[in-house]
Amino acid sequence: MGGCASKDKKDKVVDGDAVANATENTADGTKAADATTTDQPNGDATTNPEGKDTMVDAAVLTKLEEGFAKLAASDSKSLLKKYLTKEIFDNLKEKKTPTFGSSLLDCIQSGLENHDSGVGIYAPDAEAYTVFADLFDPVIEDYHGGFKKTDKHPPREFGDVNCFSNLDPNNEFIISTRVRCGRSLQGYPFNPCLTEAQYKEMEEKVSSTLSGLEGELKGKFYPLTGMEKAVQQQLIDDHFLFKEGDRFLQTANACRFWPTGRGIYHNDNKTFLVWCNEEDHLRIISMQMGGDLGEVYRRLVSAVNEIEKRLPFSHDDRLGFLTFCPTNLGTTIRASVHIKVPKLAANKAKLEEVAAKYNLQVRGTRGEHTEAEGGVYDISNKRRMGLTEFDAVKEMNDGIAELIKLEKENMVEAWFMDDETSDQRLQHHCDPPEYIDMNELFKKTGVEYFQINADNYENDNVLQELRKKRNYSYEDEITCSEKCLPDYANKLISFFTEHLHTDEEIRLVLDGSGYFDVRDGQERWIRIAVTKGDLIIIPAGIYHRFTLDVNVKVFTQVNYTENFIQCILAANGSALKGSTLVVGGDGRYYCKEAIAIIIRICAANGVYKLLVGQNGILSTPAVSALIRHHKALGGIVLTASHNPGGPDNDFGIKFNCENGGPAPDAVTNHIYQLTNGIKDYKIVKDLQVDIAKVGINTYAIDNQPEFVVEIIDSVENYVNCMKEIFDFVKLRKFLSGETTGKPLRILIDSMNGVTGPYVREIFLNCLSASEDGVVRTRPLPDFGGLHPDPNLTYAKDLVQTVVNGEYDIGAAFDGDGDRNMIIGYKAFFVTPSDSLAVIAHHLGCIPYFQKHGIQGFARSMPTAAAIDLVGQKLGREVFEVPTGWKYFGNLMDAGYLCLCGEESFGTGSNHIREKDGIWAVLAWLSIMQHTGLSIEDILKQHWATYGRNYFTRYDYEECELQSCNDMMAYLEKTICDLSFVGREFTAEGKSYIVKVADNFSYTDPIDKSVAAKQGIRILFEDGSRIIIRLSGTGSTGGTVRLYIDSYEKDNTLGQANIMLKPLIDVALEISRLPQFTGRSSPTVIT
């Protein structure tokens, strides 16, 4: 064991076998030196704040060296490992705090012994935050959301205690609510350095102080010493009492002399508690059953104010209130609920993703490092530093309110459908999606929703009550699969034919998933996605229909894939005979099985040749390149893009046409119509092809010429394509450091998707990057449990690694390789719109564009308009199109553009007709090589040249629908007024002059298709934009989306929220949104 070098009143070294140079304490347990030094982490009250005049014992050094070596070699994800570099370790290992002699081992021993720790570091005394600041500061910055060592925590501010209310007045979700804060007593070290005498003295002080509380706070102190075990356990089970520290606290030496000095105070109602010397000196807690956060918070504030009148707390001007664990610094406030959210909790990763969006922490009900019990989670605010106590509680308040809202919505998801007639099994969202929750659905249609235990539905109380209340007597069970349902195809057609009943209809999903569609009073179809355990009741007289959805389990149904592939082939008509097709996918679950089926059906349908990727592996960009290179009829791509894979997740089949791009609506609609009437399919049943072996396989098929299946190297053609586009010789010299004198440090994350083999061939073999510069490069059927979507949320491992400063560029790709995320040194984030604009500016440094020229550019309408400025400067047309890659493809085929992108991390050029993630990274490397600049400097130089587009989106949810419609009508009338163009608006000293105003409509210059009413669009002379759209319906109406794209010519390095405020004010003025909706602030800011 390690331990602080302090002695008890008998002058006996405590846990001192690994330390030396003990510091004396007086008999009464207080320090002989100035006690206030423990409250001065800035070191001002010590003669040697860096602790250089003390020596660390050799045994401690040995233990440190051994522990550091094991940690460095481990796969630990702790913040300790992340920030304890060899340089920092060597700098700190021989230091000790001046007053209590705490060493680096005292700080990190828990993390050295528990590699599964999330943080792994504690402060044994207040001075540790200064002496070991090189380690504590980055940990604090990381955990507390960017609280830098130059930042200062704001003064204590509890705010208006009456502004919070009951988060769950109907007691549907929240079991209990508590708000607590930690406090350390001034003049004492933290737990590892407390002597036994100090523990006893502190217990006496706390007990005496709390005995003076009155009113609702009045209660009694119960010391742990002498408390019966049965009583202790009951209090622990009731969540009133802490238990002896877990292994993380044990190894941090926070449990010495247990249970001496520990105790609990509570009032008669057990709604107010104080823990003495659990982890911190004091944990002050207000709690009660239910969700009344307002009452709980008011009680806590009253208690803290009363106790502080009697006991001075340890506080630092920069770090706020000081605590043993750095995660609790600052406000020390933790506002939490025990909450049951079964739909969100069914996918723990999804629950944590949603919680992280609102800075919430999810853990078990028995504290950190514990799991949920009975599906109940403890969810609290995570941020404690850099904001006031009031703001910390408000984050929890807003986050829990949103989680409850999402849980209600996730009980079953429903949305208004588009008017397309393509495959009925697709989701058929409007653009943008228009969701409707169950309350509003009931108001519109009378449809009711219940959640049933499908595994034991016969005994489910809810279902039994429904049977009794509604006199249900007849029951039938249908399994919708070709194997089990006679006349399967016709039955599905019948189910999807709209119909109504004279009696209400009850439908319970026992397994699987599908869609019920109902028609509302305005003749709009609403789709309800149902899964296992969902029960809906459709009232009499409501038109409705049913269909299955599309997932792996659907594709693996008997003959499902066969029928679908037959329809794809049939849609090509006479062109199919003697044709060549490309086949491959992203390697997800069921890819190989589907390819075997595709080969057999193509053989029977007159296809001459298949080009199949080895092991079925072909990225979406590679398929497009192969189609174009071989002038194939098209390609069959097996992917579900950036969505997760596995037996219970997503799978997809899509067809790319002869230009290499996705099939347009006319083709997909034709395929869908064929699926509705298919009676049989053609197949060569016994045909077996080894797709693992590269080579040409020729087969004799009855009544037709030979059939050829060529298994091709999955990456060769694509790599050759990239070599024709980029100068690999220059890039290799650049990465190796031959031209710069310093190797470029790259980190490429394929996220276990299809790009792995391409990344290894291009970056390792062709460009000579180091082996550790590429990660997760083996395509896995379930992507290793990852969600292969390259953004800051799902690629957080990459971001957390690059932020350390060990890499110059980081990149991630999605499952099928068409999306990309790029970050620079220390994870400097490149937005998709900035990436597009920078590439456009530097296209001339890429050989492909030197040879083929630079045509126009394009972006999707919601994407910030940074590329527009590049187009203006270069004299190139910039097309603004609706969301959908098909719009780009048409323009490319016509020779109108060579570069395009969208806000969802998609970038592409006219070398193929798909987005291309690897292409985007090679473009950035070419720009870095050409300019000799880092990613951050390239962007700053770009902004200096063109200015910067700051962007945000405000969502105002659940607004009264009529008021929203009135606002949109007002806006239509306002912008149509001829005097509106040219008007000047001013806010906070900045002026904006209207250049263009319309309700965006796009006519494709190639096929003349029209996409109308995409949103109110106001463009200003300086390049700024306001876009206002009404989308969706909530429980009380519509959602207003306000997009702000604020252009700044000179002030390009400002904070986005500050820079955007003037244009936000202008948008609110023009729209009169607050007056129409009654809203003073948005529900969600993106």
Of residues 584, 591, 690, the one with CA closest to residue 637: 584
Dihedral sign for Cα atoms in the order 47, 48, 53, 56: positive
Grouping H, G, I as helix, E, B as strand and the rest as coil, residue 267 is strand
> Per the annotation, does 336 bind a ligand?
yes
Q: Do residues 964 and 1076 lie in contact, with contact meaning Cβ atoms separated by under 8 Å?
A: yes
Q: Do residues 406 and 350 lie in contact, with contact meaning Cβ atoms separated by under 8 Å?
A: no
> Per the annotation, does 911 bind a ligand?
no
> Per the annotation, does 177 bind a ligand?
yes
Residue with structure tokens 């070419």?
A: 926
> Per the annotation, does 715 bind a ligand?
no
Question: In this structure, what DSSP letter does residue 825 have?
Answer: G
Report the C-alpha gap between 763 and 922 in whole angstroms. 9
Question: In this structure, what DSSP letter does residue 703 have?
Answer: T
Q: Do residues 688 and 697 lie in contact, with contact meaning Cβ atoms separated by under 8 Å?
A: no
What is the SS3 string spanning 636-651?
EEECCCCCCCCCCCCC
Residues listed for the chain: 1086
User: Omega of the bond prior to 432 within 30 degrees of 0, cis?
Assistant: yes
> Per the annotation, does 69 bind a ligand?
no
Q: Do residues 610 and 752 lie in contact, with contact meaning Cβ atoms separated by under 8 Å?
A: no
Cα 467 to Cα 533, 538, 1012: the distances in Å are: 16, 15, 48
Dihedral sign for Cα atoms in the order 611, 616, 620, 625: negative
Of residues 788, 766, 792, the one with CA closest to residue 776: 788
> Per the annotation, does 179 bind a ligand?
yes
Q: Do residues 904 and 1086 lie in contact, with contact meaning Cβ atoms separated by under 8 Å?
A: no
Q: Do residues 591 and 649 lie in contact, with contact meaning Cβ atoms separated by under 8 Å?
A: no
> Per the annotation, does 760 bind a ligand?
no
- Mode of pairing for the β-strands spanning 809-813 and 746-749: parallel
- Mode of pairing for the β-strands spanning 1025-1033 and 1016-1020: antiparallel
> Per the annotation, does 337 bind a ligand?
yes
> Per the annotation, does 870 bind a ligand?
no
> Per the annotation, does 953 bind a ligand?
no
Of residues 139, 141, 64, the one with CA closest to residue 95: 64
Cα 501 to Cα 496, 505, 509, 543, 578: the distances in Å are: 14, 7, 19, 8, 51
Report the C-alpha gap between 589 and 593 in whole angstroms. 9
> Per the annotation, does 283 bind a ligand?
yes
- Mode of pairing for the β-strands spanning 219-223 and 263-267: antiparallel
Tokens of 13: 């070294």
Q: How many helices (H) and strands (E) does the chain have?
A: 34, 40
Q: Do residues 336 and 178 lie in contact, with contact meaning Cβ atoms separated by under 8 Å?
A: yes
> Per the annotation, does 178 bind a ligand?
yes
- Mode of pairing for the β-strands spanning 360-363 and 320-321: unpaired
> Per the annotation, does 366 bind a ligand?
yes
> Per the annotation, does 335 bind a ligand?
yes
Enumerate the H helices of 114-150 as residue ranges: 128-131, 133-143
> Per the annotation, does 315 bind a ligand?
no
Report the C-alpha gap between 528 and 441 in whole angstroms. 10
Q: How many CA atoms lie within 13 A of 760 on its CB side?
A: 13
Which residues are annotated as catalytic? 641
N-to-C CA span, the chain: 48
**Which phi and psi (to 5°) does residue 797 adopt?**
-60, -40
Contacts of 214 (CB under 8 A, 6+ apart): none
> Per the annotation, does 364 bind a ligand?
yes
> Per the annotation, does 123 bind a ligand?
no
What is the SS3 string spanning 721-746?
HHHHHCCHHHHHHHHHCCCCCCCCCE
> Per the annotation, does 180 bind a ligand?
yes
> Per the annotation, does 1017 bind a ligand?
no
> Per the annotation, does 429 bind a ligand?
no
> Per the annotation, does 425 bind a ligand?
no
Contacts of 787 (CB under 8 A, 6+ apart): 349, 642, 643, 644, 794
- Which residues line the annotated binding site? 176-180, 239, 283, 334-338, 363-368, 499, 501, 505, 544
Residue stretches of the annotated binding site for ATP: 176-180, 239, 283, 334-338, 363-368
Q: Which residues are annotated as a binding site for Ni(2+)?
A: 499, 501, 505, 544
Question: Which residues sit in the known binding site for Fe(2+)?
Answer: 499, 501, 505, 544
